[in-house]
Every structure is written in C-alpha cells, then in structure tokens.
C-alpha cells in the first residue's frame, strides 16, 4: 500500500499569530502609559514573567488572563480585542490580501 507524503510549505508572508498581535498591543499600551512590567503585573494579579511572555507572544493567554491586564492598563478586553483585530486587518492589507480573507500559514501538497 502506497503511503501519501505531505510536504509542508511555508507561505512567503504568513499571517501573524493572534498571540503575537495581542502581545504587541499590550506592550504598546503599557509603554505608552509609562508603566513597567512589574506595575501592570502587580495590578493584574500575575507574575511579571508571565506578562512578559504574553507580550512577547510566547503564551496564548485566555480571556480570563487578558481581562485583568486590560483593566490594569485602564482599558477593557473588548477594546484590546478590537485593536488587535484592527492590527491584523491592516497587516493583511499591507501584505496584499485586502484584509478580507485569512491567509494560510501553511500549504499542504501531496
């Protein structure tokens, strides 16, 4: 019996991960306020190490974790989500996708 082999091919401009965009948005908001990681983490009730990993896109935080961080930045979870979605839309437009349809990060070929 023949086995099909799938090759994974990365596209030239993969869509950024949601966790990366959310992390960048959190970091921009924190820095814009002049807060340190320790300040925001303390107000949000989490460790600065975890918040740092979220900002760097290393962790995929739940909404239960994002809501206190947004609150510590005097924002809200919906505001943060809308801002991250806007970033994704703008990146899609600049990559030539028109921001309308999601781009696949991987293509499978047999």
Q: Does domain 17-109 have CATH number 1.10.10.2840?
A: no
Q: What is the mean pLDDT of residues 15-33?
A: 95
Tell me what the mean pLDDT of segment 51-76 comes to: 97
pLDDT tens track for 37-54: 999 999 999 999 999 999
CA atoms of 81 and 73, how far apart (whole Å): 14
Single pTM value for the model: 0.73
User: Nearest-CA neighbor of 101 among 84, 89, 110, 109?
Assistant: 89
| Per-residue pLDDT tens over the stretch 2-15 | 444 444 444 555 77
User: How far apart are the C-alpha atoms of 22 and 26, rounded to whole Å?
Assistant: 6
Tell me the mean pLDDT in the region 13-18. Answer: 80
- What is the helix (H) or strand (E) element at residue 69, kind and residue range? helix 63-72
* Nearest residue to 69 via CA among 38, 32, 40, 39: 40
């Amino acid at each position: 019996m023949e086995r099909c082999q799938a090759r994974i091919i990365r596209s030239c401009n993969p869509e950024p991960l949601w966790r990366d965009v959310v992390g960048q948005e959190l970091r921009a908001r924190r820095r814009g306020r002049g807060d340190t990681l320790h300040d925001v983490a303390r107000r949000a009730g989490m460790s600065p190490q975890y918040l740092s990993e979220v900002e760097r896109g290393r962790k995929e935080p739940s909404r239960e974790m994002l809501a206190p961080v947004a609150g510590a930045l005097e924002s809200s979870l919906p505001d943060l989500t809308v801002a991250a979605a806007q970033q994704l839309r703008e990146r899609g437009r600049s990559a030539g996708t028109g921001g309308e349809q999601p781009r696949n990060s991987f293509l499978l070929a047999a």
